Chains A and B, each alone.
Chain A
Amino acid sequence: MRLPCPLCGARDIREFSHMGAALARPDGGDWGPDWNDYLHNRDNPAGQTEELWYHGQGCGGWLVVTRDTVRHEVRGARLAGEGAGA
């Protein structure tokens, strides 16, 4: 498996580690249903997913990878956040 790092180009999977679904962190520090969803509830879709991957053995960038769980197809990847120097 290979992932298309926006900075480094297509790279072998062993350079990356996986974190899970790309979700927005709820605002505020108080526990509530939004936090429960963020931490525990996942859709597990058959089809397109957005996942967080860390290019730890590469550029150190966190990526949002769009992947199709049915076709095993990686559709693309973008940086998860704006780099500080941008």
Chain B
Amino acid sequence: MRIDGKGRGIDHSRVLRFSFDGQGYEGVAGDTLASALLANGVRMVARSFKYHRPRGIMTAGSEEPNALVTLGRGAAQAPNQRATVVEMHEGLEARSQNRWPSLGFDVLAVNDLMAPFIGAGFYYKTFMWPRAFWERVYEPAIRRAAGLGALSGVAAEDGHERAYAHCDLLVIGAGPAGLMAAWAAAEAGADVILAEEDLAPGGRLLAEAEEVDGIEGADWAAGLARDLAARPNVRIMTRTSVTGAYDGGTYGAFERSAPGMAARHGAPKGCFWRIVARRAVLASGALERPVAFAANDRPGVMMAGAVRAYLNRWGVAPGQSAVVFGNNDGAHRTVADLQGAGVHVAALVDARTGVECALDVPFYAGAQVTGTSGRRGLEAVMVATAKGEVRLAADCLAVSGGWNPTVHLACHMGARPVWDESLAAFLAPEGAVPGMEVAGAAAGRFSTRACLASGLEAGLRAARDLGLPVPNITAPPAQDGRYDILPLWQVPGRGRAWLDFQNDVTVKDVVQAAKENFRSVEHMKRYTTQGMAPDQGKNSNVAALAVLAAASGRTIPETGTTTFRPPYVPVPVAAMGAGARGKGFAPERLTTSHGASVVRGAPMIEAGLWYRPSYFPRAGETHWRQSCDREVAMVRQSVGVCDVSTLGKIDVQGPDAARFLDFVYTNAMSKLAEGRVRYGLMLREDGHVMDDGTCARLGAAHYLVTTTTAAAGQVMRHLDFAAQVLRSDLDARAISVTEQWAQFAVAGPNARDVLAGVLDEVPDLPFMGFGEVRIGAVAARLFRISFSGELGYEIAVPARFGAALSDLLVARAEAMGGGAYGMEALNVLRIEKGFITHAEIHGRVTAFDIGMQGVMSTKKDFVGRAAASRPGLMEEGREQLVGLKPVGEIKEILAGAHLFDEGAEAVSANDRGYVTSACYSPTLGHVIALGFLARGRARIGERVRAVDHLRGSVTICEVCAPGWVDPEGGRMRG
């Protein structure tokens, strides 16, 4: 029920319509879904996880265990949203969860009657046999019953974003302590980020009836926040939960967008922040904990602090007649606030003895609530007093078992919290997160005055640590209320007493776990599921471990806590992965001829980040093989053009460039003549092949290294390492020029003719020669190299001319009966020649394996030389590169197939090698393949079986020398 004139956080005049389970209601601006439901008298909002018991709103914050609802539909459907943090807006549509057919009548509520049989561990004991039942019967049934809200099954929109922020000081929480810390550091000149989970700064001041600096606390907070927000060095991030503390002063945070903003076109629904801070102040406050007594889960049972928040902030009376039960002074304050709002208080039940009550209320000291009754909500409360049990009619029971400082973030880097006997609570150990200080209620300073002082100290200390002048600020006067807690975790008695409301874990379950020797708190958690799910036991962990401690005869500190892990509150996976689709998943690298390839209808294949054309279909071609075969024939008989710009190009210059390349290549590039190109092999230091490519000597002290497309980044990193670390004595500089040049292979008998129509003058280059050429005003580079085995050139121009040159070359080639060729044809052409790619040099092969032991110079040191000389890497028994062709009935060979001796069974013990590349050769008219075969070079002419168990293929193959077409190389040299 809304109370007239109350509610400092709402605007009574701005009515907002919303629906819950299809029923229309009205809320007001400033409401949460929870406050609006309470204002409308909706008490039962959910069914519990396991027993499907009616549940109501219990808290007023992100720790809410009960009031989980589903928002939106379709792609926007979001299950398990805490009604206590869902901001009210016009048209909000919420649905209850975990009930069928309706919240009021739920079939699975029968579970509650079965409770004696389905306590902790029942899963593990019940669904054991018959064994075959698990997959067919038990698991599907359990899966249907398990969980809370459901996803819609429709892919979510990419509605979130991610961002970085940097500051000198991150203040986590904008309650009295956080505000003071931010103020002090800001005054000192620090860059401050003040992150607040709620929609406005103030913390508990928004919920309490008390004054700071002579004015209402909430007004003081709003005023200070306004002042801070106006400063250029302060950034207040509301609706932002800091979710994790990580190495190096990095924090994760999730920001929910305000409903008004989220609705705007293009605006994010939320943002996952990475905040880097030199210092942090954790002023995250404290969370109130319940007391376990029989049937303490009935709708109407709420945390006392939440009751005060609903009264003071939202002007909502959670009931008409309340009982307040507590073990600290907060209970008295709750009575005062209830009475101040005109709510009848049936009794104040204080577990402590010898305390006084200054209020006009039936007061039971040394008394405890032992149970509740009611159908779908609280109707009466049973109280054990010194004079016996009394039954009090009430529809609201406000409970306070004390407060747990919110130390989670301080413990994210492995620290364990420390038990404080006087507060009966865990505190963060000092220095648990480097650079972070804990202040205010999070540090166990529970009064507003103590919070202000503690926050101020932390802010000033941060300023000092940051080397800033310490400002002269004093904390404003504020209330210094007492706390005086008497630890009380559970009220003995019959009936189920809940510890973890979200997971339906009772005192009995935890005791059962201890009995079955799950005494470690981590084991108890997993056995009972206490502390799991969205709330991660925020209001149940400490009481549960206290019960475990008592049941296992240990103290609370001996029992310890479970590990605190990020995130502190649930973060949508969609936010952490925001933007990581399509181009945001991996950048697309496009060549200058990409547009033309797309126009020609070429399907693209990804090569690392590059997109390269697979083949260029022509009219009448319905299968890729037709296009590929044609393109191969084109190159062999006329001419083809292929964009090879994706190959890595590294410019190496310097007085010691030649010596440097001698060090990174196995062969002696210092012996290469100017204007000539050489094939080169690079090894890793472990003696295996890293990459291959060509190296051109452009000048006496100037080389151009070419890498494969796949290894370009790795080779650049390697050359940087060699230059900076291994051979910093050499004066050579290497820089990538991959992006600068667009490069095209022109291959085939008519290659020279194509160039003749493009270049101003075609130089008479020898095979493996290099020359500078001109295309009109454009200076270009011409290399006479071939990856196809035909007369071949590669021509490079500055990339701005790439598209134009590509068009020109392809048009010229087409006029001669040739044209563009893609990756499929390129692959066939090179297999026909026995040329290798990273399918062969896959990281486990040596120069010896590919038959290139001859290109390892013995006259110089080079990377990988020592390791490559190990006897095991040069053994004849190793798997060596061979060619394969089918000679039996079956004419296919599949890459990935393994090789076996002809008569041997195809089992791993008989494995003799494997196929790395295979294709149909249109030139030869049959399939050919490359592979590695033990003693392969000595087995040419023999027969082996290629077996692919996965695809059920067995082929009898003849071992050949790798390279079928023009093995003497006359065509490419000619």
Q: Which residues of A are interface residues toward B (Cβ below 8 A)?
A: 1-2, 10, 12-13, 17, 19, 25-26, 28-32, 35, 38-39, 52, 54, 56, 60-62, 72-74, 79-84
What would be 7 A-B contacts, judged by CB atoms less than 8 Å apart?
Answer: A17-B717, A29-B861, A38-B685, A52-B725, A62-B724, A81-B725, A84-B723
Q: List residues of chain A with CB within 8 A of the CB of B865.
A: 29
B733 at the A/B interface (Cβ < 8 Å)? yes
CB distance from B712 to the nearest CB of A (A): 12
In the bound assembly, the distance between CA atoms of A56 and B866 in angstroms comes to 27
Task: Please name the 5 residue pairs, one residue from A and one from B, whose CB atoms are nearest each other, closest first.
Answer: A81-B728, A2-B248, A29-B861, A81-B724, A29-B865
CB distance from A33 to the nearest CB of B (A): 11
Q: List residues of chain A with CB within 8 A of the CB of B624.
A: none
Residue of A nearest to B276 (CB): A2
Interface string of B725-759 (1 = CB under 8 A from A): 11010011100000000000000000000000000
CB distance from A83 to the nearest CB of B (A): 7
With beta carbons under 8 angstroms apart, the residue of A2, A30, A83 that contacts B866 is A30
Quick check: B724 and A79 within 8 Å, CB to CB? yes
Quick check: A83 and B724 within 8 Å, CB to CB? yes
Q: List residues of chain A with CB within 8 A of the CB of B733.
A: 84
- A80-B724 CB under 8 A given contacts A1-B247, A29-B861, A29-B865: yes
Quick check: A56 and B870 within 8 Å, CB to CB? no
Quick check: B685 and A39 within 8 Å, CB to CB? yes
With beta carbons under 8 angstroms apart, the residue of B246, B247, B866, B870 that contacts A29 is B866
B249 at the A/B interface (Cβ < 8 Å)? yes
Q: List residues of chain A with CB within 8 A of the CB of B860.
A: 29
Q: List residues of chain B with CB within 8 A of the CB of A12.
A: 164, 276
Q: Which residues of B are interface residues toward A (Cβ below 8 A)?
A: 164, 246-250, 276, 413, 434, 654, 685-686, 713, 717, 720-721, 723-726, 728, 731-733, 860-862, 865-867, 869-870
- A35-B250 CB under 8 A given contacts A54-B720, A54-B721, A79-B724: no
With beta carbons under 8 angstroms apart, the residue of B246, B654, B869, B870 that contacts A1 is B246
Quick check: A84 and B732 within 8 Å, CB to CB? yes
In the bound assembly, the distance between CA atoms of A12 and B861 in angstroms comes to 37
Besides the known contacts A32-B866, A84-B654, 5 further A-B residue pairs in the complex with CB atoms under 8 A apart: A28-B861, A35-B867, A39-B686, A62-B725, A84-B728
CB distance from A48 to the nearest CB of B (A): 16
Q: List residues of chain B with CB within 8 A of the CB of A84.
A: 654, 723, 728, 731-733
- A82-B728 CB under 8 A given contacts A2-B248, A31-B869, A54-B717: yes
In the bound assembly, the distance between CA atoms of A25 and B867 in angstroms comes to 12
Q: List residues of chain A with CB within 8 A of the CB of B731.
A: 84
With beta carbons under 8 angstroms apart, the residue of A1, A29, A79 that contacts B862 is A29
Quick check: A35 and B724 within 8 Å, CB to CB? no
Q: List residues of chain B with CB within 8 A of the CB of A52.
A: 721, 725
Q: List residues of chain A with CB within 8 A of the CB of B723.
A: 81, 84
Residue of B nearest to A25 (CB): B726
Quick check: A60 and B249 within 8 Å, CB to CB? no
Residue of B nearest to A85 (CB): B733
Residue of B nearest to A64 (CB): B725
Q: List residues of chain B with CB within 8 A of the CB of A29.
A: 860-862, 865-866, 869
Q: List residues of chain B with CB within 8 A of the CB of A26.
A: 866
CB distance from A47 to the nearest CB of B (A): 16
In the bound assembly, the distance between CA atoms of A38 and B684 in angstroms comes to 13
Quick check: B866 and A62 within 8 Å, CB to CB? no
- A30-B250 CB under 8 A given contacts A56-B717, A60-B720: no
In the bound assembly, the distance between CA atoms of A13 and B276 in angstroms comes to 12
Most buried by B among A2, A12, A29: A29
Most buried by A among B276, B724, B731, B867: B724
Quick check: B717 and A35 within 8 Å, CB to CB? no
Quick check: A1 and B867 within 8 Å, CB to CB? no
Residue of B nearest to A82 (CB): B728
Residue of A nearest to B873 (CB): A31
Q: List residues of chain B with CB within 8 A of the CB of A39.
A: 685-686, 867
In the bound assembly, the distance between CA atoms of A62 and B721 in angstroms comes to 7
In the bound assembly, the distance between CA atoms of A39 and B728 in angstroms comes to 20
In the bound assembly, the distance between CA atoms of A4 and B946 in angstroms comes to 53
In the bound assembly, the distance between CA atoms of A80 and B726 in angstroms comes to 9
In the bound assembly, the distance between CA atoms of A79 and B247 in angstroms comes to 22
Q: List residues of chain B with CB within 8 A of the CB of A25.
A: 685, 726
Q: List residues of chain B with CB within 8 A of the CB of A13.
A: 248
Residue of A nearest to B726 (CB): A25
Quick check: B247 and A72 within 8 Å, CB to CB? yes
